[in-house]
Amino acid sequence: MAEASDNASTKPPSQMSRPVTASSSVAEREIAMFSGIAITDEDRQLFIDGIQRKTSATRLSTRTASKQQPDLEKEVAGTSTNESLNDDEAGDRDEGNLGSDSIIGSMTLQRRILTMSALSLSIFIGSLEQTIVASSLPAIAEHYNALDSVGWVATSFLLASTATQPLYGRLSDIFGRVETLITGLIIFLIGSAIAGAAQSMGMLIGGRVVQGLGASALMSLVMVIVSDISIERERAKVTSVFAAIWAASSVLGPVLGGVFTQSSGGWRWVFYFSLPVGGVAGIFIVMFLRLPRPQGSFTQKLKRVDFLGMLILVGGAVMLLLALSFGGQQYAWSSPTVLCLLIFSFVVIAIFVLVEWKVPKEPIMPLRLFKNRNSGIALAQQIFMGASLFGPVFYVPIYFSVVMNSSPIGASLHLLPFLLPITIVSVATGFAVSKTGRYREFEWVGSAILTVGLGLLVLFDENVTTGKSIGILIVSGIGLGMMMQPLLLCLQTAILPHDIATGTTLFVATRSLGGSIGLSVFQTVQLNQLAKNLVPVYAKYAKYASLIDATVENQAAIYFDSVPADLRLALVQANVKALRSVFYAMIPFGALLFLLSLGLKHIPLRTKMVKTHGNSQSEENVSASDDKEQAKESV
């Protein structure tokens, strides 16, 4: 290494910048491996000086892959399953620094815009499909005459996407970010085509399952790729935009679904809409997103996949999500079906933990992710964040449908005072975090504001004014927007660089899981409280029992012409009281977010790029055309 340093320091001025070749030094290869740009003598010397300060010969040996041929699996794993970044070591996280220039910063403006647009479209259509079918379900049920099974159109997508999200991080480490993202996009588009062209309810549900399998890659890998191409200190500015897009598409889903359903094309365009958008995103990704590819043949990569862990994890997740979907709806929580699903899901998850601890060299979910205090808190917070987000998204429109007889589109538009603050504050917080380097304080303030906002929802009654509802929803939106980016940084700063992909995809999955848990709790509260509230209504209006039953299945039936005015008022009051109980049930989720945030430790944000194993490769694996274009952009 000293010889390399001497050679670098004696280069004549005429050789101040040259491309990496087969004769390049190990240090030169290491710089080019991640950045893909020409190397100056100054860069070379800075890098070599940094390497010489390292005291561990073991760590240095992993950087000479082309000469020493280290074990590929050990290089990618980087650490044993029992190793973690503990709280005392968390501040020293700069191993593998590759300089202060991010990949996104080295792009030309045009290429940066096209790349970010492609990633934005990908996460938009993936998250949009979570909620877009909500306002089209009645039309779908009528078309197939299948009211009893129409709920599976939404449930099947959520099951498939939530259960498989944790898998894509490790798969992208093995097969490559772009390759895995494009595969997920293709799967998603195939599912969209099947769902749009479905000739039966079974075919539609099957298409939604395929959609969910692909959408989980879109929603999780976009955030992983953004983390790969940006410096940690600057990352919040970029990821805040994508978080805002995710939130906006989730809220706008029912609105767009209603628009498509009422259009001449009908409800099928709820699914066809993603085809042209996803096609454009895929073309842009292939053309403009340049990321290194992991080494090894396809067969070698397949051997590294933890298929056993994947199978067990998906099985346990599906059983848990089915229990949450069935409980309090198709079956009582005390029914054998729900209890068996819950018990078996916990048993299978326990088996998964044991398998991941003992069996694979490259576990699909390294247990070290849970050993650090900050990462454990961040993942737990994501569960409560999911419930706090999806609760208002689903139940505020129900409130306006019941009280104001709003159409599905109109009821969803009432969420705009909730959506806009999330979008604006999330982006503003991202820039503030990048400017100050602080993120924990935003979590404290944001979770406190969110808890207050959720508490204010209980003020919604049958006489609420428009101004009052807007003000209340703005408070909740500000709180959520202030937390989205700091929460992700809390996780990413607490884990090792080569765990970023797995940790980020798990982070996204826990938010979806939290949404499922929250909605199950809220629906149980709503139905139980509504049943109690309707007891005196049934007694007083016994001859209208069938009409009352109809309003339980469909709140819009409250405003049927056949319902007397006094009965309508009683039904509205009963539903409002039940919804108020739901809003009360949301408060603990916000409070737990706040309490958990108090246990976070501040870890300084990196100001240099580090090598993640998802982007480990030698320069030879980048095509010659990519080399030329990246070198051109770095000038």
Query: Is the predicted pLDDT of residue 85 greater than 60, yes or no?
Result: no
* Segment 590-595 mean pLDDT: 95
| Contact predicate 375/503, CB 8 Å | yes
State both tokens at 166: 């944790």
Task: Determine the number of helices (DSSP H) and then strands (DSSP E) in the chain.
Answer: 28, 4
Q: What mean pLDDT is predicted for residues 369-387?
A: 90
List the one residue out of 622, 610, 632 whose CA is nearest residue 291: 622
Task: List the alpha helices (DSSP H) in 405-465.
Answer: 408-413, 416-436, 440-456
Q: Mapping DSSP to helix (H, G, I), strand (E, B) and coil, where does residue 599 land?
A: coil
Residue 370 tokens, joined? 């849970």
Give the residue among 254, 276, 177 at the shortest CA–CA distance from 220. Answer: 177
Contacts of residue 220, defined as CB under 8 A and 6 or more positions apart, other chains included, come to 165, 168, 169, 504, 505, 508, 509
Asked if residue 141 has pLDDT above 60, the reply is: yes
The domains of the chain are located at: 2-102, 105-297+371-528+583-610, 307-359
All residues at 6 or more sequence positions from 134 whose CB lies less than 8 Å from its CB, including other chains: 154, 253, 254, 257, 394, 408
Amino acid at residue number 62: T
Per-position b or e across 310-341, b if 16+ CB within 10 A of its CB: bebbbbbbbbbbbbbbbbbbebeeeeeebeeb
Q: What is the pTM of this model?
A: 0.74
Please check whether residue 169 is in contact with residue 505, taking contact to mean a CB–CB distance below 8 angstroms.
yes
Give the Cα-Cα-Cα angle 362, 368, 372 (nearest 5 degrees).
Answer: 160
- Give pLDDT tens digits for 325-344: 888 777 888 899 999 999 99
State the amino acid at position 366 in one-letter form: P
Write the CB contacts of 284 (distance below 8 Å, at least 6 apart in sequence): 114, 115, 117, 118, 121
Length of the chain: 635
pLDDT of residue 105: 61
The backbone torsions φ and ψ at residue 364, rounded to the nearest 5 degrees and listed phi first, read -65, -25
- Domain at 105-297+371-528+583-610, CATH from 1.20.1050.10, 1.20.1250.20, 1.10.1740.10, 3.20.20.10: 1.20.1250.20
pLDDT tens digits, one per residue of 440-474: 999 999 999 999 999 999 999 888 888 999 999 99
Mention every residue, 6+ apart, whose C-beta is less than 8 A from residue 315. Answer: 348
> In this structure, what DSSP letter does residue 331 have?
B
Mean pLDDT value across residues 227-234? 78
Instruction: Report the chain's terminal Cα–Cα distance, integer Å.
Output: 28
What is the pLDDT confidence band of residue 484, given thresholds at 50, 70 and 90? confident
Query: How far out from the chain centre does Cα 105 lie?
Result: 24
Of 485, 484, 423, 483, which is closest to residue 236 (Cα–Cα)?
A: 485
Distance CA(75)–CA(25), nearest Å, equals 20
Query: Please, what's the largest Cα pairwise distance for the chain?
Result: 99
Question: How many CB atoms sit inside 10 A of residue 455's CB?
Answer: 18
**Do the Cβ atoms of 442 and 432 come closer than 8 Å?**
yes
pLDDT in tens, 159-182: 899 889 889 989 999 999 999 999
Return the pLDDT at 458: 93
For the record, the structure tokens of 101 come out as 């220039």
**Is residue 530 predicted with pLDDT exceeding 80?**
yes
Residue 327, classed as helix, strand or coil, is strand
The closest of 481, 489, 235 to 374, measured between CA atoms, is 489
